């Protein structure tokens, strides 16, 4: 059993490739490939979500210069050196996205001539280590919190011992996670650990690790404060990750999902120890029915949120998702078997129930490993935004106090909108409708509804763009029941 368990974990965790970035660059000034008459004083990069700067450099004829960065929400401003000579320059940057993932990129421009566009990717030297740590961290967190929850239903000292053991393991795992997070964000060698601890602690994943440490300490401190520790551990799940970047409502859904998963996983070992107690097993089984339904509802909602569009290069995330869904299906099948066939035959079926619980534990390991892989790789939702930003044309317009950044692409036809209020904050309207028409034929336009895909982010599908040239885009925004805004712009398609 142990050999098969280890093989499954290794297979799921180490088969992954490098993770993609999670924040999307939607506008750059100067633009990639631009030809400038003179060097601007600053470079301005606008992303689709708030970011934190890690480093930025300018490489030119005179060598490499580190750039001073300032950030305001999703906007990164870089101070450029004065009086640079004519020639080609490459501006590179590395930032932390809202879900604590590193995002790296570069653009090329020329002074006195054009520069060829360039592309870079976030370094991945710590990718596998971070993924393995994340899977073990999630397992320890859920077992610790779940042991406390299970102790309210299952008698004996097993739930408490499980929670204490898991909390003891969680402490070094959280500290290791902070160290790896700093190295991963900076793409730095192990010798630079101390230099990047502040970077890790300032990320949302660092904040979640600190909360997990506090929760583990409370569980180890004694019975009176252990429930508070379990609550802190569950709430820490809502501090970081893909879903958290979509707003507090989705963070609540994630926390509920995690709490039920902790209850289920945390009860397996204690339940196996009392498998010959029909009253305990049946009481747990009755409660589990409703909770599993809620678990599935939250899981489906979170999955649909992350799927968004369906670009071609989402193999790692989707493969991990399919493995997770298959394991969850196995868990549900076993749970139904236990409830309908074994529970009525207890205590005679206690040995069969224990074997089934062991298989459940094995499937839970697969679920956690797949979850760790998904957490380190880009979901289809953000990859759709990347494709629109890379393949399309981006135009910015301001009207009626609303700033609209529109990226329109033809292959495939897609439109991504980023809406901001006068203060630069993401705008959350009630409804958005777009109208597209050839600029020379305004009467040949058509309307499409847009759907929300993130804070201030909307996407329109089902577009028809049979040719290039200038297209007139009108964005109608229902801000609230009494306020409407209309922003128009011309988008030159190649």
Which listed CATH number (2.40.37.10, 1.10.10.60, 3.40.50.2300, 2.60.40.1930) goes with 392-493? 2.60.40.1930
Q: Where are the domains of the chain?
A: 2-16+124-381, 25-111, 392-493
User: What pLDDT is stored for residue 173 in this prediction?
Assistant: 94
User: What pLDDT is stored for residue 171 in this prediction?
Assistant: 94
Same CATH topology for 25-111 and 392-493: the answer is yes
Q: Domain 25-111 adopts which CATH fold?
A: Immunoglobulin-like (2.60.40)
Whole-prediction pTM = 0.62
User: What pLDDT is stored for residue 382 in this prediction?
Assistant: 58
Query: Interior CA angle at 126 toward 254 and 133, to 5°?
Result: 45
User: What pLDDT is stored for residue 216 in this prediction?
Assistant: 94
User: What pLDDT is stored for residue 17 in this prediction?
Assistant: 39
Q: What is the mean pLDDT of each run of 10 residues along the chain (494 residues)?
A: 41 40 72 72 83 82 82 86 77 79 76 54 68 90 91 81 92 92 80 79 86 94 91 90 73 88 87 82 80 82 66 62 85 84 82 87 85 72 52 67 76 76 78 85 78 82 72 86 83 73
Q: Residues 240, 246, 247, 253: what is their CA dihedral angle, to the nearest 10 degrees?
A: -70
Sign of CA dihedral 123, 129, 133, 136: positive
User: What pLDDT is stored for residue 292 in this prediction?
Assistant: 80
């Amino acid at each position: 059993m142990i050999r098969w368990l280890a093989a499954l974990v290794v297979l799921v965790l180490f088969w992954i490739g490098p993770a993609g970035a999670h924040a999307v660059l939607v506008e750059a000034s100067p633009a990639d490939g631009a030809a400038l008459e003179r060097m601007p004083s600053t470079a301005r990069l606008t992303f689709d979500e708030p970011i934190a700067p890690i480093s930025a450099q300018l490489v030119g004829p005179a060598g490499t210069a580190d750039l001073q960065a300032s950030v305001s929400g999703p906007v990164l401003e870089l101070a450029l050196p004065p009086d640079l000579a004519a020639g080609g320059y490459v501006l590179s940057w590395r930032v932390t996205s809202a879900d604590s993932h590193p995002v790296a990129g570069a653009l090329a421009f020329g002074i006195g001539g054009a520069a060829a566009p360039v592309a870079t990717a976030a370094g991945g030297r710590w990718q596998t280590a971070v993924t393995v740590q994340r899977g073990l961290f999630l397992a320890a967190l859920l077992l610790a919190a779940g042991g406390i929850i299970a102790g309210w239903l299952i008698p004996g000292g097993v739930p408490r011992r499980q929670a204490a053991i898991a909390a003891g393991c969680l402490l070094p795992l959280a500290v290791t996670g902070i160290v790896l997070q700093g190295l991963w964000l900076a793409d730095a060698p192990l010798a630079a650990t101390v230099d990047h601890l502040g970077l890790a602690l300032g990320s949302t994943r660092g904040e979640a690790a600190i909360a997990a440490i506090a929760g583990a300490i409370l569980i180890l401190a004694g019975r009176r404060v252990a429930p508070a520790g379990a609550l802190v551990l569950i709430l820490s799940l809502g501090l970081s990750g893909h879903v958290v970047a979509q707003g507090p409502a989705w963070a609540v859904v994630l926390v509920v999902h995690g709490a039920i998963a902790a209850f289920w996983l945390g009860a397996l070992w204690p339940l196996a120890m009392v498998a010959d107690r029909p009253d305990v097993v049946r009481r747990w089984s009755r409660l589990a029915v409703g909770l599993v339904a809620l678990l599935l509802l939250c899981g489906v909602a979170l999955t649909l949120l992350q799927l968004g569009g369906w670009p071609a290069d989402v193999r790692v995330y989707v493969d991990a998702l399919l493995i997770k869904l298959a394991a969850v299906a196995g868990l549900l099948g076993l749970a139904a078997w236990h409830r309908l066939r074994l529970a009525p035959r207890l205590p005679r079926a206690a040995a069969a129930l224990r074997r089934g619980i062991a298989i459940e534990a094995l499937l839970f390991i697969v679920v956690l490993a797949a979850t760790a892989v998904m957490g380190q790789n880009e979901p289809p939702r953000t990859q759709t935004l990347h494709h629109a930003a890379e393949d399309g044309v981006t135009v910015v317009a301001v009207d009626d106090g609303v700033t609209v950044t529109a990226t329109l692409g033809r292959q495939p036809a897609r439109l991504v909108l980023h809406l901001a209020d006068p203060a630069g904050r993401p705008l959350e309207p009630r409804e958005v409708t777009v109208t597209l028409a050839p600029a020379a034929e305004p009467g040949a336009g058509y309307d499409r509804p847009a759907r929300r895909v993130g804070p201030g982010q909307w996407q329109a599908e089902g577009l028809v763009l049979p040719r290039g040239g200038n297209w007139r885009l009108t964005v109608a925004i229902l801000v609230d029941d009494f306020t409407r805004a209309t922003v128009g712009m011309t988008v030159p398609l190649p």
